[in-house]
Amino acid sequence: MKFNKKMAYSAVFTALCAMNLVANAQTVRIANQGDALSMDPHSLNESLQLSVTGNVYEPLVGRGKDLGLAPALATSWKQTAPTVWRFELRKGVQFHDGTPFTADDVVFSFARAAGDGSDMRSYTNDIKEVRKVGDHAVEIETKAPFPILPDVISLVYIMSKKWCEANKAERPVDRRKGIENTASFKANGTGPFRVRERQPNVRTVFTRHGGYWDKIEGNAAEVVFTPIGNDATRVAALLSGEVDVMEPVPVQDIARVNASGSVRAVTGPELRTIFLGMDQKRDELLYSNVKGKNPFKDKRVRQAFYQAIDIDGIKRVVMRGASNPTALMVGPGINGFSTDQNKRLPHDVEAAKKLLAEAGYPSGFEVALNCPNDRYVNDRLICETVAANLSRIGVKINLQAETKGTYFPKILRRDTSFYMLGWTPATYDAHNALNALMRCVDDKGSGQFNLGAYCNPKVDELTLKIQSETDKDKRNAMIREAFDLHSADIGHLPLHQQALAWGVSNKVKLVQLADNFMPFKWMSVQ
């Protein structure tokens, strides 16, 4: 263990030294608690992953500074029939290797994103066909009317068909199976930055793409991205000037960062909801001392866990006030969020004990909790606190906290009974959370991140209707009904929305988005 720590600190020191060597007036040095796990834009549906690769690759429809839809590789789009959308593609765009961007790349990329190994299938599961209409137009036909399709595909990044075929990267990097290919380490997009150097878990260097089709507002010519997992080391690097931007600032260090004079904490609300999920499918719970049955199939057990968690204590002690406890799987800023529905069950240890006893577990039971230690704000501390809360009702939690590089492959294989996850609806609409987190699981991408396999056929039925409904009032009424059903089932254990906190040098200007994406094209060095 000591040897590994030495190696880790040495790697960080080496990376920081390297950053200083390449730094110049137009270099932005960014540190994060974790790394993008791959350069493959279809390999992991995780916001840091998509934020990093979104500087290299682009979708048909992107997002502006206000998070509204904006033309990207498509200049315009329209519905030509209830189930058909036509996208006019941007002409004169080239991939970083000089290959022209055409409709063939779009058809290929959507098929790749929908294929085996892709983690982006929840964005494509209701698409029937993507077809070429000349070199610079495509039609996307959906299985049913789908008025929010442009919002849904805003994170489906387009790759070069020719490059993928030449580099044997026709299929996505599969994080569940640990299968890698060229796309994990190299990249060839149409975006404003290209990958110059990739050293996983050490550093990645991006350089400005001189042939980019659009204006790049910022003056950053080079971005050096370095993962620094240790909070104290990351804060020290910011305060000493070794990095210009870092994320996240630990909540306990925000005041110190703001008091430094040379750097500042840029804070704001985040759309991400942090929650706990439970295996509700297996007949026998994994990693538990309960044999022959699954306690989480019993609503009383799920409710006992819910009411045993002291969410206000987590907000006060662990999050230092930088969180908003929630009863819903989406937060403010997401269409479908309703304040009057956002009422948690009371924290009540005695009621939780009674529910466990009624379910047949008067002495509690033992189960493992899977948790990342470098993905969300104070994620490990939250899980430790949850474990302590549950011990008060007799439940022994065997906490398995690990780096997201091993954590995500494990839980995405559904090799878990109890887990933490965070979710930001990419469409800024409740349908996204319903489809990915609460819909019954199938092999097409429905419920792709419903890792505990919660299933209520009525919620499924409503999700499909919500997807097709164009009347806003009717649609929001159905969202409300679906959330009521999910809450009544105790389908998941929602915790809170965390707050954003980026550490930024006073010489750097940037744009902070509520989805926690960090576009390099809007960064400037003064």
pLDDT of residue 175: 76
pLDDT of residue 195: 98
Cβ atoms 203, 18 nearer than 8 A: yes
pLDDT of residue 3: 35
- Domain 2-244+507-525 is found in CATH 3.40.190.10: yes
Name the β-bridge partners of 138.
Answer: 87, 132
Cβ atoms 127, 111 nearer than 8 A: no
- DSSP letters, 439-478, are SPP-TTSTTTT-TT----HHHHHHHHHHHH---HHHHHHH
Residue 127 corresponds to which tokens in the numbers above? Answer: 């698409």
Residue 276 corresponds to which tokens in the numbers above? Answer: 């706990």
How far, in Å, CA of 475 to CA of 384, rounded? 39
How far, in Å, CA of 408 to CA of 402, rounded? 9
CATH of span 270-499: 3.10.105.10
pLDDT of residue 177: 80
DSSP state of 174: B
Q: Which residues of the chain have pLDDT under 50?
A: 1-24
Topology alike, domains 2-244+507-525 and 270-499: no
| Domain ranges for the chain | 2-244+507-525, 270-499
What is the pTM (predicted TM-score) of this model? 0.86
Side-chain-side CA neighbours of residue 525 (13 Å):
16
Cβ atoms 491, 45 nearer than 8 A: no
Report the relative pairing of strands 27-32 and 222-227 from DSSP bridges.
Answer: parallel
How far, in Å, CA of 307 to CA of 310, rounded? 8
> What are the φ and ψ backbone dihedral angles of 505, each rounded to 5 degrees?
-60, 145
pLDDT of residue 255: 94
Q: For the segment 324-341, what is each residue's pLDDT rounded down to a tens digit?
A: 999 999 999 999 999 999
Side-chain-side CA neighbours of residue 388 (13 Å):
11
Residue 163 corresponds to which tokens in the numbers above? Answer: 């490059």
Cβ atoms 267, 255 nearer than 8 A: no
Instruction: Name which of 333, 304, 361, 302 is nearest 486 in CA terms.
Output: 302
Q: For the segment 112-164, what is each residue's pLDDT rounded down to a tens digit?
A: 999 988 999 999 999 999 999 999 999 999 999 999 999 999 999 999 999 99
How far, in Å, CA of 6 to CA of 12, rounded? 10
- The radius of gyration of the chain's CA atoms, rounded to the nearest angstrom, is 23
Q: List, in order, residues 6 or more apart from 86 with CB less than 8 Å away.
A: 77, 78, 79, 80, 133, 137, 138, 139
